[in-house]
Every structure is written in C-alpha cells, then in structure tokens.
Structure 1
C-alpha cells in the first residue's frame, strides 16, 4: 500500500497476476476505521489481540556489555521444528560447525542447537519457547539463548508469527528450502564467502532499482519517497560505495535479471515495485507469489511472465554470490494463509491453502546470495509515509547504513524493531483508553493499527549473522 501524504485513501501494493488488477481492494481511511472498530465482536480474537499487544513489550535487544556486531559476544543458535526431517540438519551441519567456532570464541554457552525435543513444538509461541529454555522476557542474554538465531523450516512448521515475535528480542532469520540440497548449497556459500574461498565479490556497489509503472501511484510514491531518499543517504554518507540508480524506464525485467546473478550483480540491492499475487487455487501461486513486477508492465491490463521476475526465471548459472537484497514488494518474503487485515465486510480472506515462503529469495539464496529482506503479506505506505509528517524513512536509511558499514544483517535491521516497539506501545495505550471508555480518534487508531501490523511483517530470509563482504 501507499498513499499521498494529504490523502485519506489507502491503496495497496500488489497486482493480481490472474486479472491485472490490484490484488487487494483499495479502502478509504474511514472504511478501515470502521473495520478496525466495528467488526463483529469475537471474544477470543479480542483476548488474543490484547495478550499480543501486552506481550509485545518494548524492544530490549542484546544486554548491555555485549556488542551485536561481534558473533563472539552475541552468539549464534539454530532452531528447527521438533519434528523436522533430520536431512535438513545434516545438510546445514557445515555452517553450524562454522558458526560454533565463531560463537564460542569467548564463551561456549553462546552457541545452541534447538532440535528434536528442544525444537519448536506445534503451535508454540516465542514466549513459551523461551521460557522452556530458561530465558525470561528480558534483554537477550547470549549465555542462555544466543542473540543471533536462524530458523530452519517453512512457516507451517515454524509460523511467521513465531519469527515476528522472537524478532522483538533477538536477531532472527529464516531459511525454508524445499530440499536438503538447496540447504547445503546455502551453507556452503556462506562459509565460502567468509573464509575467502568464494569467487571474489564484485565492487562495493549499491544498486537501487525502482519501478514506476505509468499511472500507478503505489510504485511512483515508493520510488520517489522511499527508494530516492535511501539512495540519497547512501550517496551522501558512504563514500567507499558506488551507487547506481535504475528508476522508471530502465527498471526492466532484463535489467533486474542482470542485477540478480548476472554481470551487474552489486553487493547490495534495494528494490521497490509491486509484488505479484495469485488466487489460492492458481497453480502459479506457489512459484510466483511475491515475484517482482517490473517496468515492462504498462500499468494496466493483462500481465504475462515477461513482465515480472520469479524464482524459476533465474538462470541456472546465475551467480548472486555475496548479495544482500531488500525487496519492498507485497509478498516479497512470503504469504500467510489468511490476510492480516480485514476487507469490506470485516472478513479475513484466505490467501493460500497454507502459509509459504517466497521462491525468488530462496532461489537466490540457493545460488549464492547471503540474505534477502522482504515482506509477508501486503506492504503499506505507513512503512515510509505518515499523514501530516510526510516521508519517514529513517529505519530504512539507518539499516542500510549499518549494512554498508559491515554490520551483521540481523543486527542492522534492529532499527525496524525499534519503530515497531514504539508503535506497539502507542497501540497498546490506545486500546487501554478504549477499555476505560475514553474517546479515541478512529483515524488515529487506524494509522496505528495498520502501521503496527505492517511493521510486524518485515522478515529476514537467511542467516542473521551474514554481512556484506
């Protein structure tokens, strides 16, 4: 979604590949407020929401005295589902051994493998998981549970909510490969990149790829107010990095293919575009949901595979080695089973038969990329625009600066969690006022509700301990 700073209409990012129309219907702010405040009461849902906002305590991060940039301070752990197929643990073993050496350099307690009985149980939330492993709801103590945590498994095995909840306290990433072979290749690529045995990375180049489909407000605003500001910050503050902007006419599928494993692959890539969406029974949904819609689409009318880049469009010899990418696009990281926000009528639409991770990021990871940051479900303009205040891109700018300065990707993204903690606090305060009978402005509540929910949907795919070469 995105919106004009002076507009009350909410227009969502995402295009339906079956029809060429918006994947999510547009709504006015008043309609969203009505849905937020006037949905048929569901006592259990209300109770869950209140527990969740109460549990989403202010972000705590790593305890004082430990440097999140150092693996020997923060430690590293890997989390499997309790019933995970052991072949994935075997495939990841070289990376686990590599991280063990790094994480235990100062204290052997700063490395953990949570598998089998210690793994995530079906339906288990992050707070229950941490309590079972003797960790309180406090700042992360790496001597109990390491700060850097890699989840291994698809979101049916370890839910998106688990990842989002754990991320409030820890630096969390996920890999959800379909095969053990892909898992092993990713492990090998990370090790090779850190031990100097990989093909040398390209120049220290950051590329910014912004689609501006004609007449399409979401992509126009994202390219101008988000991508443009982040690129300008890098140009002004990172003299060791060269910056390339590919915006509008040049942001084609062919060019994006060259940036993702071709001869123009940068070390860091930031994209803004629509993400593709498909009906739940469409056979294109699993392989192409979240694919990046490029400038090749005219902005209206039917969409073909010539217009977007999906995982199975990458060449088998694509080599995105050392790449960290940020995709600002609907479903760019994955899809929940049900949408996170009600639509007209107050019902949550079933988006898919099961939750799943996007294929494009995992294809990149299997072929040598280090990490991809993306969004689960739709993107909202409240990620970077706020009514009355205009563009608010500090979390994006600060995270990118940290990445280019050599921070591990999980710790670099902490700025997003800080924003989420602030929104959580404000939303919880509004709910408390409603509970006590005080009047609350419906539009303000709508902004908080949507911005908070949007902030929970940014996720990291890949090992949180990787960093730019």
Structure 2
C-alpha cells in the first residue's frame, strides 16, 4: 500500500513507538462508510446575530451548564468568582445556569435545547452564546457539548480535584487583571517520528500554516527536532514566559498492545503526547511553567479525551466484515471504555489547565484523530486545506476570545453538514443514488472535525493588547499569494458640515499608535448605547478617563458631520 495515499491515524500504543495503523487505510475505505445514521443530523436554527461583535460579552452573554444534583452545586460554587467576573463583564446581566442529566444521545441533546435552553424565541437575545460546561464526560455528556457548539461558543472545565477548579479560576482572573509585557506569537511543534501521519501533518498542515501566518508581521516559529523527537525539547519550548499560541501535532497514546491493565492506567495515560517510545502525560508534569497564559491546540488521537463510543466504530466494523480492513478493529478501538467504564477528559489537558503557570485553554480531539481534517479527499484527490486551522491560530493571536476563535474550525464542520444534506436532498428529489465515494469522504471529514472540543472557559483570550493582524505588504507579490486589485471610487464632494468635521478632526488629539481604531469604535458604541464605562473600559483594556475623552471627541465630530451640535 502507498502510505502517502492512505488515510492516516494519529494513534500509537502507549508501550510502543509504531503507529497502530502502520500503513493506514486505503482511500477507498471511506467510500464504504456506513451511511445509516447520516440522515439523523439535526440542523440548528441560529439564535445569535452573526453580524454582531462575537467578543462582546454584553452582546453575546456567558452562561454555565452543570450536572444535576449536589455534584453540580459544588462545581458551581467552586467557580463562583469567575461567574461574578463574567456577570460584571456582561453589564450586570445575570449569568444563566442550566442543569442537565448525565446521559444524553445526540437526539436527546437536541430535544434538551428546545425544551430547556431555548424555550422561547422572545428570550433569544438573552441566551448565553458563551457556555462553560462543568464536569467530566460522564457528568455532562459529550453529545450536548457538540450540539451546543454548533452555533455557540462552548468550553468545558473538568478536574479530578476541587482545588484545581479554584486554581484555574484564579489563573484566569489574574491574567485578565494583568497586562502582558509582550505579545507572544505562535509556535508550531511537530513530533518528527518518521511516521506517515506526522509527515503528512507537517507537510500538509504545519508548513503551509507557518508560511501563511508568516505573511503577517508575527513571531511564528516551526519547532521540533527532525532527527531526534524528544519531550525535553517540547518542555523547553513551552517555558516561554510571554503568552503564546502553541499548535502541536503528534500521535496520541492509545491502549498498549496487550490492553490497559486497569481503568486507572487508561485514565492516566490515554491521550498522552507521543514522542515515539517516550510519552508525555499529565502525571509527568509538575508546576513548572507550561505555556503560561497561552492557548494550546493539541492535534492527536484522544488528546482531549475519550468518548464512550467512537464515531468510527460501526464504520471500521463494516470494513472488517467486508474484507476491506486487514487489521483488527479492536487494535484501533481498544482505547474506548468497555462495559460500565465511563468516558473521560484526558489527564494531560487537565494537568496543564490546573497549573497556575499553565495555559488558559486547550483545544484537542475526543476520539480518533485522522489526517482528514486538513487533507480533504472529496474532490477525488488529496487536497491540503490547512486554512481552517490557520484561522483558529490567527483569530487567537488577534486576541479574540478563544470560543469565537475555535468556531473558525467548527464552521468547516457545519459547511460539510450542509453539503451532505444537499447530496441526500438531491438524491431524494431526483431519485438518484449519491456518489458513495464522495459521501464517504465527506462523512469522514465531518466526523473528524466534530471530534474537536475546547477545554477551558470559552471567554478567555490571549493576554496581550488586542490587535488586528495585517499582511506584510512586502509579501503581497510573492508567488502563491493571491492579490486582489480594488479600484478606489472618486470621493464625494465635501459639503459644509463634513468640512467642518474634517477640520475639527485635524485639531483633535490623535489616536495612540498602540490602539486599534475598530476596537475603540466598538467600545465607544457601547458607551453611546448606555453601557457602564468601567465595564467597557475593562473589556477593551482602555483606561476609563482615556475612553471617556475619546468618546467625546468621536461624538462631537460625528454630530458636526451631521450638521448638529
């Protein structure tokens, strides 16, 4: 088999360096995917204004989803300082807290939303688009998180110890009160273990991403020893003090060749970052600086957690029964909980999020992570499409809230859902049979993308001055960069009030060079609509007196342009 043309899986046994699927799966395997359940996808209505500022908490709101009963009561109490801070940030509006049962199917998650979360269209503007889930996957099911994330900004906090919740909240509030001394950039770390999966990941995702982000005036680095992959080099890279965005690609640790000895071993080790025979798990880390104040995107199988049932189980079984899967299905799915074992969030992200010197959020994969998410095949040939990941990093570097940054990735899943629905609709309407190969590839893409989740408060952001990134003009004419020429329209003749406004603007104080005019305009707009100045100033990281002065300048100039005082 030509591994370069195969479907690759980012999974290696915990006790071995070789991937579980050494040769991958043939590209024809996707065409034989089981399509039985695909028509059950639920299309959500969008209850939020997509044209509004996604980073404005007063406009988008923030809420909590917690388990029912005493366990949920305790989790809510542990994060009460964060709830209080978010209430203030959203203009004093009460924080909406929902309680949910511990078990839900995708259909039940959709029903819960209609019957409990969104009970009236009249209340849509008050629904929290930012939603923080509390508890492990056996306390608030993964199906609910995936369903709510279709059009919301959803994150999850899960720790083994109560003090970890308190440590995380303290870290978030501490970084929000502080001002980063320097704006960190992006670090891409690849574990070059010479396997097909990481090689494809480096060539089809990391290298193009570094090149694309390099066209902005950013601090971007491509890390990872190409001769000797080592956890020591990785741990050295994450000691950087400036808040940084880290994107790593590696295999994730799955079940050892002989299976997990105990459930405790599985919960400690599964999803560990693989460096060949060396694995990096949460138990291997202490309180040493690990991406302090940063954001980590970890691309690996089970990197974020392990579901109760894999989205690929029935597909791999079907391939095995039809003779198209030469390996043992169990060798790939051995890491899934068996019998009465429960699904869980991986220990590694739990550990770094609880670290006072750790990141504010982690993005990772629950379930098997394939190369499909960045090397799509539905057009008939493998095409590198790293842009969805680049957009997540770019938006995070612009210090957008991590929930809205993460949505850049989920948008691709929504688009794929729409395409699948269209194919089925055409088939029903025209009485035709959809192309099975195209359906299979789109199904694989959809499942791979939907497996990514956000861990941490979705309202956190990279602690640096908010800025909008602009491409380096020097790169505009480089080969491979698409340049659009826009012809400027002739200016309209100036009339009296406009001239007066221009002259007034010339005499007015200039905007400080470290401020983004778009961000200042949003802040002024909130003040003009009646929002409290302290909350707006804190939200946009501007001194209240300075913001008040800028508002008056802006208001007077605008009125002059309209010919009124």
Asked if Structure 1 and Structure 2 have the same fold, meaning a TM-score greater than 0.5 normalized by the shorter chain, the answer is yes
Question: 1:129 maps to what in 2?
Answer: 112
For residues 273 and 235 of structure 2, the distance between their equivalents in structure 1, rounded to whole angstroms, comes to 11
For residues 288 and 96 of structure 1, the distance between their equivalents in structure 2, rounded to whole angstroms, comes to 32
Which SS does the other structure have where 2:320 is aligned?
coil
- Structure 1 residues 136, 87: CA separation in 2 closer, same or farther (over 3 Å shift)? closer
- CA contact under 8 A between 1:153 and 1:177: conserved in structure 2? yes
Question: 2:351 maps to what in 1?
Answer: 363
Q: How many residues align?
A: 430
Which SS does the other structure have where 1:101 is aligned?
helix
TM-score by length of 2: 0.70
For residues 197 and 433 of structure 2, the distance between their equivalents in structure 1, rounded to whole angstroms, comes to 33
Indicate yes or no: 2:57 matched with 1:66: no
Deviation at 1:335, TM superposition (A): 0.8
Q: Which moved more, 1:119-128 or 1:368-377?
A: 119-128
| Structure with more relative contact order (C-alpha pairs < 8 Å, separation 6 or more) | 1
Cα deviations by residue, 1:298-357 (Å, 9 ceiling, x for unpaired): xxxxx2xxx121111112333532010001111111111222213243678461232111
- Structure 1 residues 140, 379: CA separation in 2 closer, same or farther (over 3 Å shift)? farther
Indicate yes or no: 2:236 matched with 1:258: yes
Deviation at 1:385, TM superposition (A): 1.0
Cα deviations by residue, 1:29-88 (Å, 9 ceiling, x for unpaired): 333433426xxxxxxxx4x6423x2x1347x37315531111121110011011351322
- CA contact under 8 A between 2:98 and 2:117: conserved in structure 1? no
Give the root-mean-square deviation of aligned CA atoms. 2.7
TM-score by length of 1: 0.84
Which SS does the other structure have where 1:10 is aligned?
coil
- CA contact under 8 A between 1:15 and 1:274: conserved in structure 2? yes
- CA contact under 8 A between 1:257 and 1:309: conserved in structure 2? no
Question: 2:461 maps to what in 1?
Answer: 467
Question: 2:507 maps to what in 1?
Answer: none
The structure whose Rg is larger is 2
Question: Which one of the candidate residues 317, 328, 332 is aligned to 2:288?
Answer: 317
- CA contact under 8 A between 2:66 and 2:75: conserved in structure 1? no
Question: 2:404 maps to what in 1?
Answer: 411
Deviation at 1:130, TM superposition (A): 2.2
Question: 1:98 maps to what in 2?
Answer: 85
- Structure 1 residues 374, 134: CA separation in 2 closer, same or farther (over 3 Å shift)? closer
Unaligned runs of 5+ in 2: 322-328, 464-565
Indicate yes or no: 2:347 matched with 1:354: no
For residues 75 and 148 of structure 1, the distance between their equivalents in structure 2, rounded to whole angstroms, comes to 6
- CA contact under 8 A between 1:420 and 1:452: conserved in structure 2? yes
For residues 27 and 367 of structure 1, the distance between their equivalents in structure 2, rounded to whole angstroms, comes to 38
Question: Which one of the candidate residues 27, 31, 54 is aligned to 2:29?
Answer: 31
Question: 1:245 maps to what in 2?
Answer: 222
Question: Which one of the candidate residues 18, 22, 33 is aligned to 2:19?
Answer: 22
Which SS does the other structure have where 1:236 is aligned?
coil
Indicate yes or no: 2:196 matched with 1:217: yes
Question: 2:157 maps to what in 1?
Answer: 175
For residues 378 and 443 of structure 1, the distance between their equivalents in structure 2, rounded to whole angstroms, comes to 21
Cα deviations by residue, 1:424-450 (Å, 9 ceiling, x for unpaired): 112223344555752222211110110
For residues 362 and 138 of structure 1, the distance between their equivalents in structure 2, rounded to whole angstroms, comes to 36
Deviation at 1:147, TM superposition (A): 0.6
* Residues 75-154 of structure 1: pairs in structure 2 closer than 5 A: 75-83=61-69, 85=71, 86-105=73-92, 108=93, 111-115=95-99, 119-120=100-101, 122-123=103-104, 125-133=108-116, 135=118, 141-143=124-126, 145-154=127-136
- CA contact under 8 A between 1:258 and 1:264: conserved in structure 2? no
Question: 1:41 maps to what in 2?
Answer: none
Structure with higher helix content: 2
Cα deviations by residue, 1:94-150 (Å, 9 ceiling, x for unpaired): 111111111235xx25x31224xxx3464274322222336269899341x211000
Deviation at 1:453, TM superposition (A): 0.6
- Structure 1 residues 361, 444: CA separation in 2 closer, same or farther (over 3 Å shift)? same
For residues 117 and 395 of structure 2, the distance between their equivalents in structure 1, rounded to whole angstroms, comes to 31
Question: Which one of the candidate residues 233, 254, 258 is aligned to 1:277?
Answer: 254
- Structure 1 residues 243, 34: CA separation in 2 closer, same or farther (over 3 Å shift)? closer
Unaligned runs of 5+ in 1: 38-45, 298-302
- Structure 1 residues 391, 3: CA separation in 2 closer, same or farther (over 3 Å shift)? farther
Cα deviations by residue, 1:172-230 (Å, 9 ceiling, x for unpaired): 00011112111111011001110129xx566513211012212x111111112111122
For residues 254 and 430 of structure 1, the distance between their equivalents in structure 2, rounded to whole angstroms, comes to 48
- CA contact under 8 A between 1:61 and 1:170: conserved in structure 2? no
